[in-house]
Structure 1
Amino acid sequence: MFFLYPLLVTREHSLLRLLQLASPALPVGAYSYSEGLEGVIHDQVVSCKADLASWLVQELTYGSIHLEAAILVRSYCATANQQWDQLQYWNAWLTAARETEELRSQSLQMGQSLLRLFRDIELGCEESLRPFDVDLLQQLKQEGCNFAVIFGLAAAHWQIESVDALLGYLQSWATNLINAGIKLIPIGQTAGQLMLFQLQPTLEQAAQNILNLEDDDLKSCGWGLALASMAHETQYSRLFRS
Protein backbone atom coordinates (compact mmCIF):
# COMPACT_ATOMS: atom_id res chain seq x y z
CA MET A 1 0.00 0.00 0.00
CA PHE A 2 1.13 3.55 -0.58
CA PHE A 3 0.23 6.69 1.27
CA LEU A 4 2.20 9.82 0.43
CA TYR A 5 2.69 12.62 2.94
CA PRO A 6 3.01 16.12 1.45
CA LEU A 7 3.33 19.48 3.15
CA LEU A 8 0.41 20.36 5.36
CA VAL A 9 -2.50 22.03 3.65
CA THR A 10 -3.62 25.48 4.74
CA ARG A 11 -6.25 26.01 7.40
CA GLU A 12 -8.52 27.51 4.77
CA HIS A 13 -8.13 24.45 2.55
CA SER A 14 -8.95 22.12 5.44
CA LEU A 15 -12.01 24.19 6.32
CA LEU A 16 -13.34 24.00 2.77
CA ARG A 17 -12.87 20.24 2.75
CA LEU A 18 -14.70 19.90 6.06
CA LEU A 19 -17.59 22.03 4.80
CA GLN A 20 -17.89 19.74 1.79
CA LEU A 21 -17.63 16.55 3.84
CA ALA A 22 -20.23 17.68 6.41
CA SER A 23 -22.55 19.39 3.92
CA PRO A 24 -26.25 18.41 3.83
CA ALA A 25 -25.77 18.35 0.04
CA LEU A 26 -23.33 15.43 0.28
CA PRO A 27 -24.91 12.72 -1.90
CA VAL A 28 -25.06 9.93 0.69
CA GLY A 29 -28.82 9.86 1.31
CA ALA A 30 -28.79 11.21 4.88
CA TYR A 31 -31.97 13.21 4.21
CA SER A 32 -33.96 9.98 3.74
CA TYR A 33 -33.41 8.79 7.34
CA SER A 34 -34.98 9.92 10.61
CA GLU A 35 -33.17 7.39 12.86
CA GLY A 36 -36.33 6.36 14.65
CA LEU A 37 -37.55 9.93 15.06
CA GLU A 38 -40.51 9.39 12.73
CA GLY A 39 -41.70 6.56 14.96
CA VAL A 40 -41.53 8.48 18.22
CA ILE A 41 -43.25 11.48 16.64
CA HIS A 42 -45.98 9.18 15.33
CA ASP A 43 -46.45 7.81 18.87
CA GLN A 44 -46.40 11.37 20.27
CA VAL A 45 -43.38 10.66 22.45
CA VAL A 46 -41.86 13.65 20.67
CA SER A 47 -44.52 16.23 19.86
CA CYS A 48 -42.96 19.69 20.11
CA LYS A 49 -39.72 21.65 19.89
CA ALA A 50 -38.82 20.99 23.53
CA ASP A 51 -39.30 17.24 23.10
CA LEU A 52 -37.11 17.21 19.99
CA ALA A 53 -34.38 19.21 21.71
CA SER A 54 -34.44 16.82 24.67
CA TRP A 55 -34.24 13.80 22.33
CA LEU A 56 -31.19 15.25 20.57
CA VAL A 57 -29.41 16.10 23.83
CA GLN A 58 -30.01 12.61 25.23
CA GLU A 59 -28.71 10.97 22.05
CA LEU A 60 -25.61 13.17 21.99
CA THR A 61 -24.91 12.42 25.65
CA TYR A 62 -25.72 8.73 25.90
CA GLY A 63 -26.99 7.38 22.61
CA SER A 64 -25.89 5.72 19.41
CA ILE A 65 -24.42 8.85 17.82
CA HIS A 66 -22.05 9.09 20.79
CA LEU A 67 -20.74 5.63 19.94
CA GLU A 68 -20.55 6.26 16.18
CA ALA A 69 -18.53 9.41 16.71
CA ALA A 70 -16.09 7.55 18.97
CA ILE A 71 -15.46 5.08 16.15
CA LEU A 72 -14.96 8.00 13.77
CA VAL A 73 -12.13 9.18 16.02
CA ARG A 74 -10.56 5.71 15.95
CA SER A 75 -10.89 5.52 12.18
CA TYR A 76 -9.22 8.92 11.91
CA CYS A 77 -6.30 7.84 14.11
CA ALA A 78 -5.91 4.51 12.30
CA THR A 79 -5.75 6.31 8.95
CA ALA A 80 -3.29 8.92 10.19
CA ASN A 81 -1.04 6.14 11.52
CA GLN A 82 -1.62 3.79 8.56
CA GLN A 83 -2.95 1.09 10.90
CA TRP A 84 -5.26 -0.54 8.38
CA ASP A 85 -5.92 -3.60 10.52
CA GLN A 86 -7.24 -1.28 13.24
CA LEU A 87 -9.42 0.53 10.72
CA GLN A 88 -11.00 -2.73 9.61
CA TYR A 89 -11.36 -3.93 13.20
CA TRP A 90 -13.35 -0.85 14.25
CA ASN A 91 -15.43 -1.04 11.10
CA ALA A 92 -16.45 -4.62 11.94
CA TRP A 93 -16.95 -3.64 15.59
CA LEU A 94 -19.38 -0.87 14.69
CA THR A 95 -21.32 -3.11 12.32
CA ALA A 96 -21.78 -5.64 15.14
CA ALA A 97 -22.79 -2.91 17.59
CA ARG A 98 -25.76 -1.63 15.59
CA GLU A 99 -28.95 -2.27 17.55
CA THR A 100 -31.36 -2.90 14.68
CA GLU A 101 -31.30 -3.90 11.04
CA GLU A 102 -32.58 -0.46 10.02
CA LEU A 103 -29.78 1.39 11.79
CA ARG A 104 -27.16 -1.01 10.47
CA SER A 105 -28.48 -0.71 6.92
CA GLN A 106 -28.44 3.09 7.17
CA SER A 107 -24.85 3.17 8.40
CA LEU A 108 -23.65 0.80 5.69
CA GLN A 109 -25.63 2.42 2.87
CA MET A 110 -24.38 5.91 3.71
CA GLY A 111 -20.89 4.52 4.24
CA GLN A 112 -20.83 2.83 0.86
CA SER A 113 -22.07 6.02 -0.81
CA LEU A 114 -19.38 8.13 0.82
CA LEU A 115 -16.74 5.49 0.08
CA ARG A 116 -17.67 5.58 -3.60
CA LEU A 117 -17.64 9.38 -3.61
CA PHE A 118 -14.26 9.50 -1.87
CA ARG A 119 -12.80 7.04 -4.35
CA ASP A 120 -14.15 9.02 -7.32
CA ILE A 121 -12.71 12.26 -5.95
CA GLU A 122 -9.32 10.68 -5.31
CA LEU A 123 -9.14 9.09 -8.76
CA GLY A 124 -10.50 12.16 -10.52
CA CYS A 125 -8.39 14.81 -8.81
CA GLU A 126 -5.21 15.49 -10.77
CA GLU A 127 -3.74 17.35 -7.80
CA SER A 128 -4.61 14.78 -5.15
CA LEU A 129 -2.29 15.44 -2.22
CA ARG A 130 -2.08 11.88 -0.98
CA PRO A 131 -3.00 9.18 -3.52
CA PHE A 132 -4.92 6.50 -1.70
CA ASP A 133 -4.53 2.79 -2.23
CA VAL A 134 -7.42 1.58 -4.38
CA ASP A 135 -7.10 -1.99 -3.06
CA LEU A 136 -7.90 -0.87 0.49
CA LEU A 137 -11.00 0.98 -0.69
CA GLN A 138 -12.10 -2.07 -2.66
CA GLN A 139 -11.68 -4.26 0.42
CA LEU A 140 -13.78 -1.87 2.51
CA LYS A 141 -16.42 -1.89 -0.20
CA GLN A 142 -16.60 -5.68 -0.18
CA GLU A 143 -16.75 -5.90 3.61
CA GLY A 144 -19.29 -3.10 3.97
CA CYS A 145 -18.07 0.25 5.30
CA ASN A 146 -19.85 2.22 8.02
CA PHE A 147 -20.44 5.92 7.48
CA ALA A 148 -18.50 6.99 10.59
CA VAL A 149 -15.50 4.92 9.50
CA ILE A 150 -15.18 6.36 5.99
CA PHE A 151 -15.93 9.85 7.34
CA GLY A 152 -12.97 9.53 9.72
CA LEU A 153 -10.77 8.06 6.99
CA ALA A 154 -11.60 10.86 4.55
CA ALA A 155 -11.09 13.56 7.20
CA ALA A 156 -7.64 12.24 8.10
CA HIS A 157 -6.67 11.80 4.46
CA TRP A 158 -7.74 15.34 3.61
CA GLN A 159 -5.86 16.70 6.64
CA ILE A 160 -8.89 18.03 8.50
CA GLU A 161 -8.18 18.44 12.21
CA SER A 162 -9.71 15.59 14.22
CA VAL A 163 -11.75 17.80 16.55
CA ASP A 164 -13.07 19.77 13.56
CA ALA A 165 -14.05 16.55 11.78
CA LEU A 166 -15.81 15.31 14.92
CA LEU A 167 -17.75 18.54 15.37
CA GLY A 168 -18.66 18.55 11.68
CA TYR A 169 -19.98 15.00 11.94
CA LEU A 170 -22.09 15.76 15.02
CA GLN A 171 -23.38 19.02 13.53
CA SER A 172 -24.36 17.24 10.32
CA TRP A 173 -26.20 14.57 12.32
CA ALA A 174 -28.08 17.17 14.37
CA THR A 175 -28.97 19.19 11.27
CA ASN A 176 -30.44 16.13 9.57
CA LEU A 177 -32.65 15.18 12.52
CA ILE A 178 -33.80 18.76 13.08
CA ASN A 179 -34.79 18.91 9.42
CA ALA A 180 -36.73 15.68 9.93
CA GLY A 181 -38.46 17.24 12.93
CA ILE A 182 -39.34 20.33 10.91
CA LYS A 183 -41.23 18.12 8.46
CA LEU A 184 -42.77 15.67 10.92
CA ILE A 185 -43.87 17.61 14.03
CA PRO A 186 -43.94 20.12 12.25
CA ILE A 187 -41.93 23.11 13.44
CA GLY A 188 -40.85 26.18 11.50
CA GLN A 189 -37.53 26.64 9.74
CA THR A 190 -36.56 29.49 12.06
CA ALA A 191 -37.38 27.41 15.13
CA GLY A 192 -35.20 24.63 13.73
CA GLN A 193 -32.26 26.96 13.20
CA LEU A 194 -32.66 28.39 16.69
CA MET A 195 -32.64 24.85 18.10
CA LEU A 196 -29.45 24.04 16.19
CA PHE A 197 -27.84 27.25 17.48
CA GLN A 198 -28.81 26.47 21.08
CA LEU A 199 -27.46 22.94 20.68
CA GLN A 200 -23.90 24.18 20.11
CA PRO A 201 -22.73 23.88 23.75
CA THR A 202 -24.03 20.29 23.85
CA LEU A 203 -22.21 19.49 20.61
CA GLU A 204 -18.98 20.93 21.99
CA GLN A 205 -19.29 19.02 25.26
CA ALA A 206 -20.16 15.80 23.46
CA ALA A 207 -17.09 16.17 21.24
CA GLN A 208 -14.81 16.64 24.23
CA ASN A 209 -16.29 13.63 26.02
CA ILE A 210 -15.93 11.48 22.92
CA LEU A 211 -12.30 12.47 22.41
CA ASN A 212 -11.53 11.36 25.98
CA LEU A 213 -13.21 7.95 25.73
CA GLU A 214 -11.02 4.90 26.24
CA ASP A 215 -11.74 1.74 24.27
CA ASP A 216 -13.16 0.01 27.35
CA ASP A 217 -15.61 2.89 27.84
CA LEU A 218 -17.31 2.47 24.47
CA LYS A 219 -21.01 2.01 25.15
CA SER A 220 -24.35 3.63 24.52
CA CYS A 221 -27.71 3.73 26.25
CA GLY A 222 -29.99 3.98 23.26
CA TRP A 223 -32.74 1.50 24.02
CA GLY A 224 -35.35 4.15 23.19
CA LEU A 225 -33.82 4.61 19.76
CA ALA A 226 -33.62 0.86 19.16
CA LEU A 227 -37.28 0.34 20.04
CA ALA A 228 -38.29 3.31 17.88
CA SER A 229 -36.28 1.94 14.98
CA MET A 230 -37.88 -1.51 15.27
CA ALA A 231 -41.38 -0.04 15.48
CA HIS A 232 -40.72 2.17 12.49
CA GLU A 233 -40.17 -0.88 10.29
CA THR A 234 -43.86 -1.80 10.53
CA GLN A 235 -45.31 1.71 10.69
CA TYR A 236 -48.25 1.91 8.28
CA SER A 237 -47.10 5.11 6.56
CA ARG A 238 -43.62 6.59 6.43
CA LEU A 239 -41.81 9.57 4.93
CA PHE A 240 -38.37 8.26 5.89
CA ARG A 241 -36.53 4.99 5.32
CA SER A 242 -35.75 4.56 9.02
Structure 2
Amino acid sequence: MILKLLQLSSSALPLGAYSYSEGLETAIETQMIQGEEGFKQWLQDELSHGAIRLETALMLRGYRCWQKKDLEGLQYWNQWGSAVKETAELREQSWQMGNTLTRLLLALDSNPKLKESLTAVGKPCNSAIAFGIGAANWEIDEYSTVLGYLHSWATNLINAGVKLIPLGQTTGQQLLLQLHANIETTATTVLNLADDELYTCSWGLGLASMQHETQYSRLFRS
Protein backbone atom coordinates (compact mmCIF):
# COMPACT_ATOMS: atom_id res chain seq x y z
CA MET A 1 0.00 0.00 0.00
CA ILE A 2 2.70 2.51 0.96
CA LEU A 3 4.53 1.93 -2.33
CA LYS A 4 1.36 2.63 -4.30
CA LEU A 5 0.80 5.83 -2.31
CA LEU A 6 4.36 6.93 -3.01
CA GLN A 7 3.85 6.30 -6.72
CA LEU A 8 0.52 8.11 -6.86
CA SER A 9 1.79 11.16 -4.98
CA SER A 10 5.27 11.26 -6.53
CA SER A 11 6.40 14.44 -8.25
CA ALA A 12 7.77 12.13 -10.95
CA LEU A 13 4.24 11.09 -11.94
CA PRO A 14 3.88 12.39 -15.52
CA LEU A 15 0.92 14.72 -15.02
CA GLY A 16 2.57 18.04 -15.78
CA ALA A 17 2.22 19.44 -12.24
CA TYR A 18 5.75 20.86 -12.45
CA SER A 19 4.63 23.26 -15.19
CA TYR A 20 2.17 25.14 -12.95
CA SER A 21 2.89 27.64 -10.17
CA GLU A 22 -0.71 28.20 -8.94
CA GLY A 23 -0.31 31.95 -8.75
CA LEU A 24 3.15 31.87 -7.18
CA GLU A 25 4.87 33.35 -10.22
CA THR A 26 2.72 36.48 -10.13
CA ALA A 27 2.79 36.71 -6.33
CA ILE A 28 6.59 36.69 -6.33
CA GLU A 29 6.87 39.04 -9.32
CA THR A 30 4.59 41.61 -7.61
CA GLN A 31 6.31 41.06 -4.24
CA MET A 32 3.19 39.73 -2.56
CA ILE A 33 5.65 37.01 -1.49
CA GLN A 34 9.09 38.10 -0.40
CA GLY A 35 11.80 35.65 0.58
CA GLU A 36 11.66 32.42 2.50
CA GLU A 37 9.48 33.65 5.36
CA GLY A 38 6.92 35.20 3.05
CA PHE A 39 6.78 32.01 1.03
CA LYS A 40 6.36 29.88 4.15
CA GLN A 41 3.50 32.10 5.35
CA TRP A 42 1.77 31.81 1.96
CA LEU A 43 1.94 28.02 2.08
CA GLN A 44 0.73 27.87 5.68
CA ASP A 45 -2.22 30.15 4.89
CA GLU A 46 -3.14 28.03 1.87
CA LEU A 47 -3.10 24.88 3.99
CA SER A 48 -5.26 26.48 6.68
CA HIS A 49 -7.78 28.41 4.58
CA GLY A 50 -6.95 28.18 0.88
CA ALA A 51 -7.89 26.26 -2.23
CA ILE A 52 -5.79 23.18 -1.42
CA ARG A 53 -7.94 22.56 1.65
CA LEU A 54 -11.03 22.51 -0.57
CA GLU A 55 -9.29 20.44 -3.24
CA THR A 56 -8.33 17.82 -0.66
CA ALA A 57 -11.90 17.63 0.61
CA LEU A 58 -13.05 17.15 -2.98
CA MET A 59 -10.48 14.40 -3.47
CA LEU A 60 -11.78 12.65 -0.35
CA ARG A 61 -15.34 12.74 -1.68
CA GLY A 62 -14.19 11.12 -4.89
CA TYR A 63 -12.47 8.46 -2.79
CA ARG A 64 -15.60 7.77 -0.73
CA CYS A 65 -17.94 7.74 -3.74
CA TRP A 66 -15.73 5.10 -5.38
CA GLN A 67 -15.92 2.95 -2.26
CA LYS A 68 -19.72 3.21 -2.23
CA LYS A 69 -20.00 2.63 -6.00
CA ASP A 70 -21.79 5.98 -6.16
CA LEU A 71 -21.36 6.94 -9.82
CA GLU A 72 -23.85 9.81 -9.57
CA GLY A 73 -21.90 11.16 -6.61
CA LEU A 74 -18.68 11.07 -8.61
CA GLN A 75 -20.32 13.04 -11.40
CA TYR A 76 -21.79 15.54 -8.96
CA TRP A 77 -18.54 16.24 -7.12
CA ASN A 78 -16.56 16.47 -10.34
CA GLN A 79 -18.96 19.13 -11.62
CA TRP A 80 -18.88 20.85 -8.23
CA GLY A 81 -15.09 20.90 -8.34
CA SER A 82 -15.12 22.63 -11.72
CA ALA A 83 -17.69 25.19 -10.59
CA VAL A 84 -15.74 26.37 -7.52
CA LYS A 85 -12.48 27.10 -9.36
CA GLU A 86 -11.78 30.82 -9.05
CA THR A 87 -10.08 31.28 -12.42
CA ALA A 88 -9.95 29.68 -15.85
CA GLU A 89 -6.23 29.00 -15.30
CA LEU A 90 -6.84 26.93 -12.15
CA ARG A 91 -9.72 25.09 -13.81
CA GLU A 92 -7.69 24.24 -16.91
CA GLN A 93 -4.83 23.02 -14.72
CA SER A 94 -7.15 20.68 -12.82
CA TRP A 95 -8.73 19.36 -16.01
CA GLN A 96 -5.43 18.78 -17.81
CA MET A 97 -3.88 16.94 -14.86
CA GLY A 98 -7.09 15.01 -14.15
CA ASN A 99 -7.51 13.81 -17.72
CA THR A 100 -3.85 12.79 -17.83
CA LEU A 101 -4.11 10.92 -14.52
CA THR A 102 -7.25 9.16 -15.78
CA ARG A 103 -5.39 7.81 -18.81
CA LEU A 104 -2.45 6.80 -16.65
CA LEU A 105 -4.58 4.93 -14.10
CA LEU A 106 -6.32 2.99 -16.86
CA ALA A 107 -2.93 2.05 -18.29
CA LEU A 108 -1.67 0.87 -14.89
CA ASP A 109 -4.69 -1.07 -13.63
CA SER A 110 -7.25 -3.23 -15.46
CA ASN A 111 -9.84 -3.29 -12.65
CA PRO A 112 -13.28 -3.06 -14.38
CA LYS A 113 -14.64 -1.01 -11.47
CA LEU A 114 -11.89 1.56 -12.00
CA LYS A 115 -12.74 1.86 -15.68
CA GLU A 116 -16.46 2.10 -14.92
CA SER A 117 -15.92 4.89 -12.39
CA LEU A 118 -13.59 6.96 -14.55
CA THR A 119 -15.86 6.51 -17.55
CA ALA A 120 -18.85 7.68 -15.50
CA VAL A 121 -17.00 10.83 -14.48
CA GLY A 122 -16.09 11.50 -18.10
CA LYS A 123 -14.14 14.48 -19.38
CA PRO A 124 -13.08 16.88 -18.17
CA CYS A 125 -12.11 15.10 -14.96
CA ASN A 126 -10.69 17.18 -12.12
CA SER A 127 -7.34 16.01 -10.79
CA ALA A 128 -8.66 15.70 -7.22
CA ILE A 129 -11.42 13.31 -8.31
CA ALA A 130 -9.04 11.17 -10.36
CA PHE A 131 -6.57 11.02 -7.45
CA GLY A 132 -9.30 9.98 -5.02
CA ILE A 133 -10.54 7.23 -7.34
CA GLY A 134 -6.99 5.97 -7.88
CA ALA A 135 -6.21 5.86 -4.17
CA ALA A 136 -9.47 4.09 -3.29
CA ASN A 137 -8.94 1.58 -6.09
CA TRP A 138 -5.49 0.78 -4.70
CA GLU A 139 -6.96 0.42 -1.19
CA ILE A 140 -4.82 3.16 0.37
CA ASP A 141 -6.39 4.25 3.65
CA GLU A 142 -8.07 7.66 3.90
CA TYR A 143 -5.60 9.38 6.19
CA SER A 144 -2.57 8.27 4.22
CA THR A 145 -4.27 9.35 0.99
CA VAL A 146 -4.97 12.82 2.34
CA LEU A 147 -1.40 13.17 3.63
CA GLY A 148 -0.03 12.04 0.27
CA TYR A 149 -2.19 14.50 -1.65
CA LEU A 150 -1.20 17.44 0.54
CA HIS A 151 2.47 16.47 0.53
CA SER A 152 2.44 16.24 -3.27
CA TRP A 153 0.93 19.72 -3.51
CA ALA A 154 3.49 21.18 -1.09
CA THR A 155 6.38 19.53 -2.92
CA ASN A 156 5.29 20.93 -6.28
CA LEU A 157 4.89 24.48 -4.98
CA ILE A 158 8.14 24.42 -3.05
CA ASN A 159 9.93 23.28 -6.20
CA ALA A 160 8.37 26.26 -7.99
CA GLY A 161 9.39 28.62 -5.19
CA VAL A 162 12.97 27.35 -5.24
CA LYS A 163 13.18 28.43 -8.89
CA LEU A 164 11.28 31.71 -8.62
CA ILE A 165 12.38 33.42 -5.40
CA PRO A 166 14.99 31.80 -5.71
CA LEU A 167 15.80 29.50 -2.79
CA GLY A 168 18.48 26.86 -2.38
CA GLN A 169 17.51 23.22 -2.65
CA THR A 170 18.39 22.62 0.99
CA THR A 171 16.25 25.58 2.05
CA GLY A 172 13.37 24.13 0.08
CA GLN A 173 13.68 20.80 1.89
CA GLN A 174 13.90 22.54 5.25
CA LEU A 175 10.71 24.42 4.42
CA LEU A 176 8.93 21.20 3.43
CA LEU A 177 9.94 19.62 6.74
CA GLN A 178 8.64 22.66 8.64
CA LEU A 179 5.26 22.27 6.91
CA HIS A 180 4.73 18.71 8.16
CA ALA A 181 2.79 19.84 11.23
CA ASN A 182 0.56 22.08 9.09
CA ILE A 183 -0.05 19.24 6.64
CA GLU A 184 -1.04 16.87 9.46
CA THR A 185 -3.39 19.46 10.99
CA THR A 186 -5.05 20.13 7.64
CA ALA A 187 -5.39 16.40 6.97
CA THR A 188 -7.19 15.84 10.27
CA THR A 189 -9.49 18.81 9.62
CA VAL A 190 -10.38 17.74 6.09
CA LEU A 191 -11.23 14.20 7.18
CA ASN A 192 -13.95 15.58 9.45
CA LEU A 193 -15.44 18.31 7.23
CA ALA A 194 -19.15 18.00 6.44
CA ASP A 195 -20.37 18.95 2.98
CA ASP A 196 -21.85 22.24 4.21
CA GLU A 197 -18.51 23.17 5.82
CA LEU A 198 -16.61 23.29 2.52
CA TYR A 199 -15.22 26.74 1.89
CA THR A 200 -12.06 28.48 0.80
CA CYS A 201 -10.59 31.90 1.46
CA SER A 202 -7.84 32.44 -1.10
CA TRP A 203 -8.28 35.89 -2.61
CA GLY A 204 -4.54 36.28 -3.03
CA LEU A 205 -4.32 33.08 -5.04
CA GLY A 206 -7.30 34.02 -7.20
CA LEU A 207 -5.98 37.50 -7.99
CA ALA A 208 -2.48 36.20 -8.71
CA SER A 209 -3.88 33.53 -11.02
CA MET A 210 -5.98 36.09 -12.90
CA GLN A 211 -2.94 38.29 -13.50
CA HIS A 212 -0.64 35.46 -14.51
CA GLU A 213 -2.03 35.18 -18.04
CA THR A 214 -0.84 38.70 -18.90
CA GLN A 215 2.40 38.64 -16.90
CA TYR A 216 5.24 39.90 -19.10
CA SER A 217 7.73 37.12 -18.42
CA ARG A 218 6.70 33.63 -17.32
CA LEU A 219 8.38 30.33 -16.60
CA PHE A 220 5.16 28.50 -15.77
CA ARG A 221 2.11 27.52 -17.78
CA SER A 222 -0.99 29.69 -17.91
TM-score (norm 2): 0.97
Matched with 2:87 is 100
Matched with 2:14 is 27
CA drift at 1:122: 1.7
Q: Is the 8 A contact 1:69 1:210 kept in 2?
A: yes
Q: Does 1:49 align with 2:36?
A: yes
CA drift at 1:132: 2.7
CA drift at 1:76: 0.6
Secondary structure (helix, strand or coil) at the match of 2:193 reads coil
Q: Does 1:222 align with 2:202?
A: yes
Matched with 1:134 is 115
**Residue by residue, what CA displacement relative to the aligned partner does 1:64-95 show, whole Å, maximum 9, x if unpaired?**
00000001111111101111111111010010
Matched with 1:70 is 57
Q: Does 1:111 align with 2:93?
A: no
Q: Is the 8 A contact 2:114 2:133 kept in 1?
A: no
For residue 119 of structure 1, what is the amino acid of its counterpart? L
Q: Does 1:156 align with 2:143?
A: no
Higher alpha-carbon Rg: 1
Secondary structure (helix, strand or coil) at the match of 1:132 reads helix
Matched with 1:236 is 216
Residues 178 and 133 of structure 1: CA distance in aligned 2, closer, same or farther (over 3 Å): closer
Matched with 1:122 is 109
Q: Is the 8 A contact 2:66 2:117 kept in 1?
A: no
Residues 139 and 87 of structure 1: CA distance in aligned 2, closer, same or farther (over 3 Å): closer
What value does the CA root-mean-square deviation take over the aligned residues? 1.1
User: Which one of 198, 202, 205 corresponds to residue 178 of structure 2?
Assistant: 198
Q: Which runs of 5+ in 1 are unaligned?
A: 1-13, 124-129
Secondary structure (helix, strand or coil) at the match of 2:167 reads coil
Q: Is the 8 A contact 2:71 2:120 kept in 1?
A: no
2-side partners of 1:89 and 1:138: how far apart? Answer: 14
For residue 109 of structure 1, what is the amino acid of its counterpart? Q
Matched with 2:157 is 177
Q: Which runs of 4+ in 1 moved over 3 A?
A: 133-136
Q: Is the 8 A contact 1:75 1:150 kept in 2?
A: yes
Q: Is the 8 A contact 2:36 2:167 kept in 1?
A: yes
